[in-house]
């Protein structure tokens, strides 16, 4: 397991068309992921998690918006400088994605074997019997039972969990160095979810895959992530090793969020709750986006964006409170 980051995202900015102007769905996002590591990306719906993923893969349709700043360095190559043909060479092969709803990424009229085969043929150049073997191996590696028979099934004939495994088989066809998993288990039942998580962790152990795991479930974060980035209104407000984040959250949003989630083994009379709701991107407050809901907000928070504070090894948070409110 090397410690050089396989994926390095620096100052990523994505602007979306909105009304006559534009909004920043991803605003100065930076992080790195090492081989064999899982970085969790948590945040509420609309906070920009999926836009971050699509931006990294350069999959934002031009009708929706575009990446306007930053670098995405995959194994030493800045993806943002590639032309579309070069980008296609990397996408899927070295960096791939699985989505929440595998039905949207699978073709409903093609047999799953052909879909997995298409990816393997494209990325590994296999043909004929070697390709057929690789398809069955790929499905088996994702623990799809009876893969020899399943190759001829259509997506609708499979359960949600099995479809997600087919999606994973396609995503692993490269095989990639980085896997982006955008809430891949949100639509799955609990027992099926933990089976898929265990599968991903096993694949990671065997291949040294780096994983960006998007979720809003702190249970998943606590269980499978090494480090966590917390996103709020398009920005990463805190990033820390997982144990550190749970034990010592520094950003008021992270702290409040962790306190508001009931735990399976701890009884509390009343849950802590964050009043108000996340802001709309086209109506962001000046200063810190969390200020209208923050129990610690002071005038400076409503005026100027908070500075990024190093809170410990590999731990940073952007908040005026941590900076002594600028005094």
Ligand X SMILES: Nc1ncnc2c1ncn2[C@@H]1O[C@H](COP(=O)(O)OP(=O)(O)O)[C@@H](O)[C@H]1O
Smallest separation, CB 243 to another protein (Å): 5
Range in contact with ligand SF4 (rule: CB under 6 A) among 174-182, 194-202, 272-280, 287-295: 287-295
Asked whether position 50 contacts Mg ion by CB under 5 A, the answer is yes
The option from ligand X, another protein, ligand SF4, none interacting with 320 (CB < 5 to 8 A, set by class) reads: ligand SF4
Residues numbered 252 to 271 that lie near another protein (CB under 8 A) are 256-258, 260-265, 267-268, 270-271
The option from ligand X, ligand SF4, Mg ion, none interacting with 297 (CB < 5 to 8 A, set by class) reads: ligand SF4
* Single residue of 40, 290, 311, 316 touching ligand SF4 by CB under 6 A: 290
Range in contact with ligand X (rule: CB under 6 A) among 39-47, 90-98, 111-119, 268-276: 39-47
The option from Mg ion, another protein, ligand X, none interacting with 162 (CB < 5 to 8 A, set by class) reads: another protein
Asked whether position 50 contacts ligand X by CB under 6 A, the answer is yes
What would the x/- binding string for another protein be over residues 87 to 126, using CB under 8 A?
A: ----------------------------------------
Strands 227-232 vs 38-42: parallel, antiparallel or unpaired: parallel
Can you give the binding site for ligand X, defined by CB under 6 A?
A: 16, 25, 43, 45-51, 64, 281
Binding site for ligand SF4 (CB under 6 A): 252, 288, 290-291, 294, 296-297, 301, 306, 319-321
């Amino acid at each position: 397991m090397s410690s050089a980051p396989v994926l390095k995202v620096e100052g990523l900015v994505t602007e979306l068309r909105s009304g006559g102007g534009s909004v920043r769905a991803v605003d100065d996002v930076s992080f790195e992921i090492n081989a064999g590591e899982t970085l969790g990306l948590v945040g509420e719906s609309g906070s920009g998690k999926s836009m971050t993923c699509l931006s990294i893969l350069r999959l934002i349709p031009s009708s929706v918006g575009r990446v306007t700043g930053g670098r995405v360095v995959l194994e030493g190559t800045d993806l943002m400088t590639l032309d579309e043909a070069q980008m296609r060479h990397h996408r899927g092969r070295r960096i791939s994605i699985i989505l929440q709803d595998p039905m949207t990424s699978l073709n409903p009229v093609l047999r799953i074997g052909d879909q997995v085969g298409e990816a393997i043929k494209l990325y590994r150049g296999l043909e004929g019997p070697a390709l057929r073997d690789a398809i069955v191996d790929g499905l088996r590696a994702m623990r799809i039972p009876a893969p020899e028979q399943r190759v001829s099934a259509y997506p609708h004939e499979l359960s949600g969990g099995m479809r997600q495994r087919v999606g994973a088989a396609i995503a692993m066809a490269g095989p990639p160095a980085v896997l982006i998993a955008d809430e891949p288990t949100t639509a799955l039942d609990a027992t099926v979810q933990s089976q898929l998580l265990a599968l991903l962790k096993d694949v990671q152990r065997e291949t040294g895959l780096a994983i960006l795991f998007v979720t809003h479930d702190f249970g998943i974060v606590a269980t499978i992530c090494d480090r966590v980035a917390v996103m709020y209104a398009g920005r990463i407000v805190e990033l820390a090793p997982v144990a550190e984040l749970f034990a010592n959250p520094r950003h008021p949003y992270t702290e409040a969020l962790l306190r508001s989630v009931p735990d399976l083994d701890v009884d509390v009379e009343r849950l802590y709750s964050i009043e108000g709701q996340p802001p709309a991107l086209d109506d962001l407050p000046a200063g810190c986006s969390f200020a209208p809901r923050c129990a610690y907000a002071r005038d400076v928070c409503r005026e100027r964006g908070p500075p990024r504070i190093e809170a410990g090894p590999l731990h940073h948070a952007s908040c005026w409170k941590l900076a002594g409110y600028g005094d």
